[in-house]
Structure 1
Amino acid sequence: MAERRYRADMEAIGKLFTAKAVAIVGATPDLTKLGSSAIVAMHNLGYTGEIYAVNPRYTEIMGHPCVPTIADLPDTVEAAMLNIPAEAAIVAAEECGKKGIRSIVMVPQGFGEAGEAGKLLDRKVAALAEQYGLAIVGPNTNGLANPRSGLAMAIAPIYQFPKSVRPGSVSVVSQSGGMVSTLLRKMAPRGIGISKTVTCGNELLLTVADYLSFMAEDPETKVIVIFLETIRNAQALREALAKCRAAGKPVVAIKVGKSESGQKAAFTHTGAIAGSYRNTVAFLEREGVIVAEDIETLAALADLLERYEWPLKFPLKPCVISISGGFAAMAADEMAVFGLDLPDPSPEAAAKLAALPNQSHPVNPYDIAARNAVIPDAIDIFHGDGFNVIVFGLVLLKEDIRKPVQQLMIDARRRGVDHLILHSPAIPAEEYEQFFENGISVYDDTRPLWAALAKLRAYHGPSCEPAEPGSVAAVALPAGSGLLNEADSKAVIGQVGFPVPRSVVVRDEAGLSGLGALARPLAMKGLSDTIAHKTEHGLVALNLRTDDEIAAAYGRIRAALAKADAGASDVLVEEMAPGGLEAIIGVTRDPVVGPVVVVGAGGILVELLDDAVVIKPPFTAAELESAIAGTKLGKLLSGYRGRACDGAALIAAAVRIGDLAVAEPRIESLDINPVFVLEKGLVAVDAKLTLSD
């Protein structure tokens, strides 16, 4: 999407959330109609500003003055919500502009999403915005709210229920109108306080990037949550996320559209692995966003980021202490699924645990074994031993026992035990508040907690800037566009130091006499700039040792090549690469977010295994190493069952390929598969490069 010519100023955007006097155009006292929603919401949230209704049928609505037209509003009104049909909303927007009301929430549908007639209305709205300097949310939006001030120009159902949203420091930007209520409903039981919410609607003028830019400067926002359907302008979003990083504000997102059957670019393995969902996630992660897999994890991340300080001063070192040995064992099993280890305490700490009047083994997870008196000492021992996240498992207990144990948790938090988290399925809801007030998160379901901790383990902080591209040697790319044959593709990656086998291109049978410099056995492949998968067309022969084998293979491949691609005749002959661990390094250029790099297990089963990471270049070796650590490939590279592989060489090569993709915008896609990772070094066995013009 092209950059917009007009962008609302931050003052007008800010008034949407901070207005001290608002007008609801199309307001009604009929509680069955959406025109009543905003006033009900502001009553529920305790808005202390001035509310005016605009409707010629009434002189008062729900205790607030009602005037017949926008022109009749007092000059103190700073923002307006238009809850009327599309055509009337355009007239009302112009009246707001004439009145000096520049901050508008446009609720109605029937604009760009409705086809050509709607797009004509879009153009009228855009023209009015530019003429009067308007900041317009929507159209087709559920509105926005500021629970801290009580302002709510919103039809979102969540705000129709008293005490359903508590004020706080988490702000929510949602491209889905309906999902904002779901998000807030998931956050409420965790005691998460909300600063601002906005549903973007059609994003005709204000986009996700605009709201993020405002929240980056908003002193009442600490954590930002995004429900993302699509990226409309990658550069604008990149700039907005940079502002969030500069302000030290973590951003958490969930991206919908994970199921991509029918969207995959199956021409290359890389395209099939990546897909728009993974590409978008790679883009977001490169910009410092923590991406959750589901709403429960999203809520857990918002909770932990709001309540505790992240990133940790030292690498994550969790422990589990529990009244129940069964919970302790179950927690360890669940955490292992998310790659979270529970290291044992140091010998000194283990000795202190062993000295406690308890029969439990001095290990992590640690079972209190119903000796509740040792809880404070056990917590202090683990905390003093460098365990920086402590999860305490509290099972069903009768009230006379449960309440003193709960107080022990609060006492531990007060004496400086940071990142203390409580798990219990048995605490009455009315008692959660005392934990929230004392900075303790409570979970009755641990799966979102483990998923969130696994995400936060790799979190380096909101101000951690993305890597800058490394320098790569100037590369001579062939003219034209489209798929290059294997020889030409390898020639390109060879220019940036990617090892390839020694080879000769044979153009006729006489050329077979020039293979003496190559060490046998040899591989032979038909070269074509139209055929991506040579094996399917009989264009590959391997392990050729004798002159007779070479001549016979050449005849077969030339015949197959003439049948598959009549315009091709060249044959690549190269030394067989020594066997190694098969990997893939690939590039695909997403039309929205630009190039992404795929690194994973390679060979013919690459898509079936789906053991790959997608990462946005440029990236550092350390970032890629961390990303692939949890994959099967990562385990193999680390020396599985004594098999030595040069993982550092693979990572270094992928970094160079990422830098090449950034430096050369003509690279549309690149498949280096398989890459044989050897005991020392690596070699590209096959490569397919596609260029744009």
Structure 2
Amino acid sequence: MTTTAPEQHPQGGGEALGKLLYPRSIAVIGASDNPAKLSGRPLAYMKRFGFAGRILPINPTRSHVQGLPAYRSIDDVEGDIDLAMIMLSAERTADAVRHCGRRGIPVAIVGASGFAELGAEGVALQRRLRTAIEESGVRVLGPNCLGMIAVRDRAMPTFSSALDEDVPLAEGPVAFLSQSGAFGAFVFSESQNLGIGISHYLNTGNEVDLSVAELLDGLVRTDQTQVVLAYLEGVSDGRRLLDAARHAYEQDKPIIAVKVGRSAAGATAAQSHTASLAGDDAVFDGVARQHGIVRVDGPEQMLDAAQIFATGRRLRGRRLTTLSVSGGAGALAADAAAAHGVEVRSWDETWQAKMAAVIPAYGSARNPIDLTGTLVAEPDILRRSLQVALQHPETDMIAVLLGCADSQSAELIDAIATANSSTDRPIAVVWTGGSGRPRQRLRELGIPCYTDPGRAAAALGRLADFSLRPALPRPQRPAGIDATAARNVLVQARAAGRVQLDEYQSTRLVAAYGVPCAASRPAATADEAVTAAKELGGAVAVKLLSDRIGHKSDMDGVRLGLVDPDSVREAAVDLLRIAREAHVEDARLLVQSMAAAGTELFVGVKRDPVFGPVVVVGLGGVLVEALADSQVASAPVDVDTARRLLLSLRGSRLFGRLRGKPPRDLDAAAEAVARLSWLAADLSDDLAELDVNPLLLGDQAHGVVAVDALAVLSSAAAWAATAADRP
């Protein structure tokens, strides 16, 4: 077994991360002579699987442990120690980390539980461990983690039961990170059963130091890792995760993630719509999609995707040709493909004739291509049809649908393997029924194989989405932004002790970022409202104006389409009465020019506690939350990204030509969203949330106009904590 070449160490990941991923010497502190005990398993695994580096048992009471020379202390070991696995109780762990620091060990794995996951006493122990890490400079994986399995070098500082059986380990380009030890062990074990080549499996546990984000970044920077699988229960370092995802995106290395928490149980609604539309999971979903993270719903989908991505092949288009032993299977595959954005187009007559020449006369050469059951008796039909499919210029990928046929499997597999080796186009096989041995053999050959057309279609759809993703931009700041004017509005409001801004102040923020706003005038009395309406001219709206009112429509605080002084006065008097009865003593009025009718959009910004500033877009109006049609992205975004967000809404057909009406000005909407995303980025320390609802979207003659806005300030404590960083 050869040891790791230096160039495999993560570039920019630091010496400690390189020593963790590619150790040449591993000390097990607290090593047991009993290979069945948790503290004895790491030695047993490394001996059994053949770790080529130095295995250093540390046990103060034994001269040998499991047949290996043991040391009373790490101080007794000559030479460098790359990695320590600390298998001591939680109470003794912090002192052991400090000892590692004095010995010059750069990184340690802490396997013990009994830390923050167990309550107050454990929290105190974890705090002690955190202090020891800071004082010693030792990087730590864990605590409460199963450790690491590095397949290529057979470095096994782990006590995971995934290695209990003598399963042949499959080495390959896929790395796997899991915050859950048990889940991770299950997925690693199944990956080996499926023949998916793994480079590393790491369980991060409580993440007192090394996080999934940092490890992911380090793995992506190695040549060995081409695909990363991740199981996430929470994200503590969102911006670092996005930086790592950006690097992976640019290096064409997919991240396939299971993230629990899709339910709304953790989302807390505030006065702003943004809080309810951009709950924790919605933000993760949006920023993950934006940065090319392939999100899946569970381990089966994760491993299905891993099979197809591990081939390293990419798609030039979404067109699928299916070759099937059964017409029914072909139809099922076509339906599944459509559901995942994959196109099964009928071949033109010229190419149908070419296919018809090599398949039975009673088959179908249209696509899906039915090779018929004759294939079982004449396996060479598959070889010939694959040759034609690979020559077909409008085939981007191929699915071969087979079943049972164990006795003919060798010839069929050979035909598929020959075709696969002659092309760079993805080939996936669905082999249903039978002994399962053909599937195993295909996977050994690096050919993705599934039991169900739907699973194959989903994997191919994810490959298509990733392959055809747009370049990840680095947004350029738009011209015409007056950030100083916007900050002055916030400073004045905070000096006045306000928690949120009224509509007039909120629209001043929006206007400072170059987003058109409906002309408006504040008024304290009915007479002032009449004067303001006259100055504005035309039809106006009269609204209650107060920083204590979140949604004016909830208290009947809006009057629309007023065209004469009497109607304005009547509305003003009535609204002021409503305010007095609701005990809104400081209420004034806002008189606003009526905007032309248009499609109502919602644009919100917020500072997410994990990922920082984000922008939310959706269909707006009073039904914004009921429609729940929104998309989220990390801010700032460029205009092209903003356009894609708008077009990904379920209701995006409203932007087109409907019932004789001209299409909406999508360019103007995308420009407004991009500008508001810069507001999110610039003012994220001062603003908790900002809603623009509705942002009216008209045709090209009318563009967009913000009709209402609501800004909520960040808490005084949060604002004070970031004061030094603000310009």
- Fold shared by both chains (TM-score > 0.5): yes
**Distance 1:646-1:143 versus aligned 2 partners, 3 A rule:** same
* Counterpart among 623, 626, 636 of residue 641 in structure 2: 623
Q: 1:672 Cα shift?
A: 1.8
Letter in 2 for 1:605: L
Is 1:173 aligned to residue 190 of structure 2?
A: no
Matched residue SS, 2:513: coil
Aligned to 2:395: 387
Is 1:210 aligned to residue 214 of structure 2?
A: yes
Aligned to 1:5: none
Aligned to 2:482: 474
Query: Can you list the C-alpha shifts for 1:303-361, whole angstroms capped at 9, x where unaligned?
Result: 22211323x3x333233332222222222222333333333335543454466654455
Residues 621 and 655, structure 1, Cα contact 8 Å, conserved in 2: yes
CA distance in 2, matches of 1:508, 1:618: 40
| Alignment coverage as a number of residue pairs | 683
* Counterpart among 676, 682, 686 of residue 696 in structure 2: 676
CA distance in 2, matches of 1:322, 1:103: 53
- In structure 1, list runs of 5 or more residues that go unmatched: 1-7
Aligned to 1:64: 68
CA distance in 1, matches of 2:74, 2:612: 45
* Counterpart among 538, 545, 552 of residue 556 in structure 2: 538
Q: 1:115 Cα shift?
A: 5.4
Residues 522 and 544, structure 1, Cα contact 8 Å, conserved in 2: yes
* Counterpart among 578, 591, 610 of residue 628 in structure 2: 610
Give the 5 Å matches for 1:268-347.
268-310=272-314, 312=315, 314-346=316-348
Is 1:267 aligned to residue 275 of structure 2?
A: no
CA distance in 1, matches of 2:86, 2:704: 63
* Counterpart among 511, 523, 527 of residue 510 in structure 1: 527
Residues 413 and 439, structure 1, Cα contact 8 Å, conserved in 2: no
Q: 1:259 Cα shift?
A: 2.1
Letter in 1 for 2:501: L
CA distance in 2, matches of 1:162, 1:423: 28
* Counterpart among 79, 86, 89 of residue 82 in structure 1: 86
Residues 431 and 439, structure 2, Cα contact 8 Å, conserved in 1: no
Query: Can you list the C-alpha shifts for 1:575-629, whole angstroms capped at 9, x where unaligned?
Result: 4333333322211211221111111222233222222111112223333444444
Aligned to 2:724: none
Aligned to 2:3: none
Is 1:25 aligned to residue 44 of structure 2?
A: no
Query: Can you list the C-alpha shifts for 1:638-659, whole angstroms capped at 9, x where unaligned?
Result: 4466653333332222122112
Give the 5 Å matches for 1:638-657.
638-639=656-657, 644-657=663-676
Give the 5 Å matches for 1:511-660.
511=528, 512-516=530-534, 518=536, 521-639=539-657, 644-660=663-679
CA distance in 2, matches of 1:602, 1:669: 16
Aligned to 2:442: 435
The farther-off stretch of 283-292 and 590-599 is: 283-292
Query: Can you list the C-alpha shifts for 1:61-105, whole angstroms capped at 9, x where unaligned?
Result: 433334444444454654321112123333433444444443321
CA distance in 2, matches of 1:629, 1:101: 52
Is 1:688 aligned to residue 710 of structure 2?
A: yes
Residues 51 and 155, structure 2, Cα contact 8 Å, conserved in 1: yes
CA distance in 1, matches of 2:327, 2:647: 30
The farther-off stretch of 31-40 and 270-279 is: 31-40
* Counterpart among 408, 411, 425 of residue 418 in structure 1: 425
Residues 358 and 371, structure 1, Cα contact 8 Å, conserved in 2: no
Matched residue SS, 1:14: helix
Aligned to 1:256: 260
Query: Can you list the C-alpha shifts for 1:209-244, whole angstroms capped at 9, x where unaligned?
Result: 432343234332222222223333344444444554
Letter in 2 for 1:338: H
CA distance in 1, matches of 2:227, 2:468: 12
Aligned to 1:153: 157
**Distance 1:99-1:656 versus aligned 2 partners, 3 A rule:** closer
Query: Can you list the C-alpha shifts for 1:422-481, whole angstroms capped at 9, x where unaligned?
Result: 112225333334323443100113444434443333326899544224324114221224
- In structure 2, list runs of 5 or more residues that go unmatched: 1-11, 720-727
Aligned to 1:54: 58
Letter in 1 for 2:607: R
Letter in 2 for 1:365: P
Aligned to 2:373: 370
Residues 336 and 458, structure 2, Cα contact 8 Å, conserved in 1: no
CA distance in 2, matches of 1:485, 1:385: 60
Q: 1:142 Cα shift?
A: 1.2
**Distance 1:19-1:496 versus aligned 2 partners, 3 A rule:** closer
Residues 469 and 659, structure 1, Cα contact 8 Å, conserved in 2: no
Q: 1:534 Cα shift?
A: 0.9
Residues 345 and 385, structure 1, Cα contact 8 Å, conserved in 2: no
Give the 5 Å matches for 1:183-262.
183-241=187-245, 243-244=247-248, 248-262=252-266
Aligned to 2:406: 399
**Distance 1:198-1:334 versus aligned 2 partners, 3 A rule:** same
TM-score, normalization by structure 2: 0.85
Matched residue SS, 2:156: strand
Give the CA RMSD over aligned residues: 3.1
Residues 159 and 165, structure 1, Cα contact 8 Å, conserved in 2: no
Residues 523 and 542, structure 1, Cα contact 8 Å, conserved in 2: yes
CA distance in 1, matches of 2:394, 2:40: 55
Letter in 2 for 1:370: G
Letter in 2 for 1:661: A
Residues 364 and 371, structure 2, Cα contact 8 Å, conserved in 1: no
* Counterpart among 499, 505, 514 of residue 516 in structure 2: 499
Give the 5 Å matches for 1:349-364.
349-353=351-355, 357-359=360-362, 362-364=365-367
Q: 1:173 Cα shift?
A: 2.0
The farther-off stretch of 406-415 and 588-597 is: 406-415
Matched residue SS, 2:689: strand
Matched residue SS, 1:92: helix
Residues 614 and 635, structure 2, Cα contact 8 Å, conserved in 1: yes
Matched residue SS, 1:560: helix
Query: Can you list the C-alpha shifts for 1:495-520, whole angstroms capped at 9, x where unaligned?
Result: 43433334343331212144235565
Aligned to 2:502: 485
CA distance in 2, matches of 1:124, 1:459: 43
Q: Identical aligned pairs, as a percentage?
A: 27
CA distance in 2, matches of 1:504, 1:100: 69
Letter in 1 for 2:568: I
Aligned to 2:682: 663
Aligned to 1:140: 144
Residues 190 and 442, structure 1, Cα contact 8 Å, conserved in 2: no
Residues 308 and 463, structure 2, Cα contact 8 Å, conserved in 1: no
Matched residue SS, 1:459: helix
Aligned to 1:34: 38
TM-score, normalization by structure 1: 0.89
Residues 300 and 449, structure 1, Cα contact 8 Å, conserved in 2: yes
**Distance 1:609-1:510 versus aligned 2 partners, 3 A rule:** closer
CA distance in 2, matches of 1:169, 1:420: 18
CA distance in 2, matches of 1:673, 1:690: 14
CA distance in 1, matches of 2:575, 2:53: 81
Q: 1:152 Cα shift?
A: 0.8
**Distance 1:631-1:352 versus aligned 2 partners, 3 A rule:** farther
**Distance 1:585-1:414 versus aligned 2 partners, 3 A rule:** same
Residues 70 and 92, structure 1, Cα contact 8 Å, conserved in 2: no
